[in-house]
Amino acid sequence: MTILVTGATGNVGRNVVEQLVKRGADVRALVRDPSKASFPAGVDVVQGDLLDVDALRKAFSGVSTLFLLNGVVADEYTQALVALAVAREAKIERIVYLSVIHSDLYVNVPHFAGKFGVERMIERMGLNATILRPAYFMDNDITIKDVIAGYGIYPMPIGNKGLAMIDARDVGEIAAIELIRREQSATPLPLNRINVVGPDTLTGADAAAIWTDVLGRPIAYPGDDTAGFEQNLRQFMPSWMALDMRLMAERFITDGIVPDAGDVERLTTLLGRPLRSYRDYAAQIAA
């Protein structure tokens, strides 16, 4: 049968597709613009989006397992609920949903609260799913590489509680492993949640110190100016999204993203190898 991947051209989705193909799965990718889709040979590309019910019904036809990923957009919550409603209509009983860690705690952060609402829908409707809850993506920091190198600062206001940063490649591989596990099960597996975290829990000062080592010159952490962070983001994203990111940063500062006991060990066992470190990622993008 076929595994459908939504959000297939993004950092995580692309890695999910590649990892599924490596494992011999029959993969279908739902994309808005097929001309931008670059996948391994054999991937079935279907055009559509998560608010186009007719396109979803077509994409879900013959699908046994669903990977549901939708981006941080104004109608993210509706997108996810529509997709799950159509999946339920298509009798898809094997689902992996990409949520976010602490979705039940960061209740004032719009995209966290929306993902927790989707989690509740999955649970209350009795859907058979793995809910992946990733922490902060290391890949976010590729957008600030030039600021780090050009101004000598690590500008993300992530505070001193610590974030368990995760590489999108690890998220994609973990998702693929869970999709295959559900796909190959003789009967639909019960609901479970997995915190998807990195091997190190880093503060803003820790991240700056890593960049200092990688670049061979001092990189400072200027502090937790979330108001300035919001204003900078408004230069290239909608005001509602900039506020969403500010609220998230404020929860980073007050609460952090600290793994639960056993999270890192569970993921290491699942992957059969160590998780990728932020130091290695920084060195890679610096090069």
Tell me: the pLDDT tens digits for 196-227? Answer: 999 999 999 999 999 999 999 999 999 999 99
86, pLDDT greater than 90: yes
* pLDDT for position 1: 80
At 127 the three-state DSSP class reads coil
Q: Does residue 35 register a pLDDT over 90?
A: no
pLDDT of residue 103: 97
Which single residue is written with the structure tokens 């597709």?
Answer: 17
Tokens 């019910």 sit at which residue?
53
Domains of the chain with CATH codes: 2-136+167-197+259-275 (3.40.50.720)
Average pLDDT over residues 225-248: 97
pLDDT in tens, 252-285: 999 999 999 999 999 999 999 999 999 999 999 9
Mean pLDDT computed over every residue of the chain:
96
Question: What pLDDT is attached to residue 36?
Answer: 83
- Mean pLDDT for 170-199 is 98
The whole-angstrom separation of Cα 195 and Cα 131 is 9
Q: Residues 183-222, buried b or exposed e (16+ Cβ, 10 A)?
A: beeeeeeeeeebbbbbbbbbbbebbbbbbbebeeeebbbe
Please state the pTM of the whole predicted model: 0.96
Structural contact between residues 127 and 84, judged by C-beta atoms closer than 8 angstroms: yes
Structure token digits, residue 206: 């820790």
Percent of the chain at pLDDT exceeding 90: 97
The mean pLDDT value for 8-15 works out to 95
